[in-house]
Amino acid sequence: MLTDPEFLRRLETLFLLTRKVLGGSMRADRRSMKKGSGLNFADYAEYHAGDDYRHVDWNIYGRLEALVVKLYELEEDVTVHFLLDCSPSMETKFLFARQVVAALAYIALSCHDKVCVHAVADRLTPLLPSAHGRGKVFPMLRALEEAPLVGKDTDLSACASEFQRRVKRPGVCVLVSDFFAPAGYAEAVKRLQWGRHDVFFIQTLDPAEMKCDWKGDVEMECCETGARRKVTITAAEVARYAAAVKEWNDGLQRECARRGVGYVQAFSDAPFDRVVEVILRKGGLVA
């Protein structure tokens, strides 16, 4: 499982790839609007008694006889929030989704970012409170390993609203889900972006969900709500199912592109580290 030595070796390999490809950061750079003694020049300000004389621009003083100090952007720690879909519809790809989250959270902790993990279903529940540093890797892995499937539905909008109420400081928000939600996903995208978070979606799918192999009279049961319905499936229904699934997924990709949300589609029959490698080579958790 997620704490096996072999799995940990694969995580460390991905972290080494992060350092090689992205220079040790997997997220979008976020700098504070505050000014201070960072690395990147931001502006000038008039010198006042008590200011650090080392920041005086002596070239300007030589030309204008004016004492000014250089101001720099402050780089702030960023929290990477992982929103993991734990609804029953994730059953066939739940291990895969947890592996992807574990890998990205491992990299974030190793890059000295803060990490939080939240379960998404019909409501938002915490799985891992704020963690920082490589010493929190095992608590993170155990929290994901022990995470159960919960809820009776997937309400992305309600979970995004609850996340917005709880998390006031902008960060990076990674939602890992199949995005099969009765109320859709558009409202969730808007609510997550209202908090000024950098938003990234990883759509995890089971290849068997892309097509319907059933024919004839069948009784179907919703894996989340338990609702049952008798239907007759013909070749026309099979074609309509495939078209509907494709349109739903294509619509999600278009919505992400329109709103500047990072997006990756991943199938559960692929190795999780290959999916994470694709994310890293695309530039990390950026749109």
Task: Return d(Cα 147, Cα 136) in angstroms, integer.
Answer: 17
Q: What angle do CA 74, 115, 191 make, to 5 degrees?
A: 85
pTM: 0.82
Question: Could you tell me where in the chain the CATH 3.40.50.410 domains are found?
Answer: 5-27+78-281
Neighbours of 70 (CB within 10 A): 17
End-to-end CA distance of the chain: 31
Other C-beta atoms closer than 10 Å to the C-beta of 7 total: 19
- Residue 93: burial class (beta carbons within 10 Å; 0-12, 13-18, 19+): buried
Query: What's domain 5-27+78-281's superfamily in CATH?
Result: von Willebrand factor, type A domain (3.40.50.410)
Cα torsion angle, 194, 195, 197, 202, sign: negative
DSSP 92-127: GGHHHHHHHHHHHHHHHHHTT-EEEEEEESSSEEEE
pLDDT in tens, the chain (287 residues): 899 999 999 999 999 888 877 765 665 444 444 444 445 556 677 877 767 777 788 888 788 878 887 776 545 567 999 999 999 999 999 999 999 999 999 999 998 889 999 999 999 999 999 999 989 999 999 999 999 999 988 999 999 999 999 999 889 999 999 999 988 999 999 999 998 899 999 999 999 999 888 888 888 888 777 788 888 898 888 999 999 999 999 999 999 999 999 999 999 999 999 999 999 888 777 66
Token pair of 102, please?
């574990």
158, 83 in Cβ contact below 8 A?
no
Which run of H or E residues covers position 264?
Answer: strand 262-267
